[in-house]
Amino acid sequence: MPDAVVRFGDDELNLPAHVGTQGDYAIDISALRGALGIVTLDRGFANTAEGRSSVSFIDGEEGVLLYRGYPIEQLAEQARFLEVAYLLQYGELPTKSELEQYEESITRHTLLREDMKHLFEAFPHSAHPMQILASATSALATYYPDALNPLDPEAVDISCRRLVAKAPTMVAWSYKYRTHQPYVYPANDLGYSENFLRMMFAVPAEDYVVDPVVATTLNLLLVLHADHGQNCSSSAVRLVGSGHANIFSSVAAGIHALSGPLHGGANQEVLEMLEWIVAEGLDLDTVVRKAKDRNDPFRLMGFGHRVYKNFDPRARILKKAAADVLHALGVDDPLLDLAMRLEEVALSDDYFVERKLYPNVDFYSGIIYRAMGFPIDMFTVLFAMGRLPGWISQFRELLADPETRIFRPRQLYIGSPVRDFVAMDER
């Protein structure tokens, strides 16, 4: 393995190279500042790995995504969400009995403490669901003070089960509160997706029958969003966890990071963008021209990715699923056709081709969520529900790694040189 050599002035330093399982390389710069007195500058950490991880692998050039080595296409086709949640956390696909035990343990923790209703009811009915979910997730830490130690594997394990189990209830109850409807309690005889759909859409006045197409589609969406390496929100979870904050606080930080329109909030932005295009009667050439104009803040939401310089494999799966699901549900949404035409126009334009900007996971997901009956402002909490196993897997991996250090990046200071305080009457 060739070392890297850094020459700075008259000094020279050999830096060891490491190779990952899939042939990716990293140069270890841990000795850099001590030997040469310099640090690296890398905006957005586009060229920087904080550490090693075994959870997911992304090949951005080839459009490949693996969860613990399994291709996303195979998991999307064959795996249940809790099966994937188990795989991401424990590293192996569960046996039948392991999965049954895991599902049973999740079922046993779906209830919220009754007084959490006061938390939901403290919010205005117009509150965004991501703000409520982040607050409720933080609040969970106050109910389980005996299971907060991030260095205690048993405490972390039960907290992870509580998070996976209670997220659907928290999301559904926040929806029921915001829509002035009675809360629907979890039903222990239902599967994960079915239970969530019933808590979301059932009303006491009549029986609710889960549509199997909607349940299967929700499972697919949750699986596709389950993990994605060191993305913005997972990095937030790791950063907060590196200070030995508890997992509820760390995941709440991830939820806030995901809410940003450049990250998970993009799925809501895509739908609003498509509706805006229709409302303004814009032709697609004008839309693409605006997206390319550096003086125009408009961006093609759901397009582009820091890592994928090819089709996001999840977007490929969702593009096909969108047509199938809308047909199965008898939904005719003109926005799907508009999205497909917009993709076609953009991908035939040199600006997008040269910058390798392709549809990402958020481009088609919102059209499917809406066809399933979810309001637009819930799309990002649905992303969060899917990403939860990824966040907790990244947290567990970081806290279990003996080489983990608290995240504390350096900076290049460009502020004022040292100067003396000036008394008020001399300013």
Catalytic residue positions, numbered: 305, 362
Q: Note whether 301 binds ligand SDX by CB under 6 A.
A: yes
Are the CB atoms for 318 and 361 separated by under 8 Å? yes
Q: Binding string, 336-375, against ligand SDX, x = CB under 6 A?
A: -------------------x-x--xxx-------------
Contacts of 6 (CB under 8 A, 6+ apart): 12, 13, 15, 32, 36
The half-sphere exposure of 27 on its side-chain side, counting CA atoms within 13 A, is: 13
Q: How far is the CB of 183 from ligand SDX (least distance, A)?
A: 30
Segment interacting with ligand SDX (CB under 6 A) among 25-33, 113-121, 295-303, 399-407: 295-303
Are the CB atoms for 237 and 391 separated by under 8 Å? yes
Q: Is 349 left (phi over 0), alpha (psi -120 to 50) or beta?
A: beta
Are the CB atoms for 387 and 226 separated by under 8 Å? yes
Whole-angstrom CA distances from 386 to 61, 276, 281, 298 are 24, 27, 34, 28
Whole-angstrom CA distances from 186 to 14, 106, 107, 220, 380 are 58, 11, 9, 21, 22
Q: Phi, psi (5° rounding) for residue 303?
A: -115, 150
Are the CB atoms for 258 and 361 separated by under 8 Å? no
Judged by CB under 6 A, the residue of 72, 88, 214, 266 near ligand SDX is 266
Judged by CB under 6 A, the residue of 304, 313, 366, 389 near ligand SDX is 304
**Cα–Cα distance for residue pair 119/390, rounded to 1 Å:** 26
Judged by CB under 6 A, the residue of 86, 102, 303, 358 near ligand SDX is 303
Record the tokens describing residue 216, joined without a space. Answer: 């299967």
Of residues 169 and 231, the one with the C-beta less far from ligand SDX:
231
Segment interacting with ligand SDX (CB under 6 A) among 68-76, 170-178, 212-220, 301-309: 301-309
Of residues 8 and 298, the one with the C-beta less far from ligand SDX:
298
Q: Note whether 245 binds ligand SDX by CB under 6 A.
A: no
E strand spans, 40-176: 56-59, 64-67, 70-71
Q: Binding string, 40-79, against ligand SDX, x = CB under 6 A?
A: ----x-----------------------------------
Q: How far is the CB of 1 from ligand SDX (least distance, A)?
A: 28
Q: How far is the CB of 164 from ligand SDX (least distance, A)?
A: 18
- Positions 200 through 229 that interact with ligand SDX (CB under 6 A): 228
Q: Note whether 263 binds ligand SDX by CB under 6 A.
A: yes
Q: Note whether 389 binds ligand SDX by CB under 6 A.
A: no
| Residues contacting ligand SDX: total by CB under 6 A | 23
Binding positions for ligand SDX, rule: CB under 6 A: 44, 228, 231-232, 262-264, 266, 291, 299-307, 355, 357, 360-362
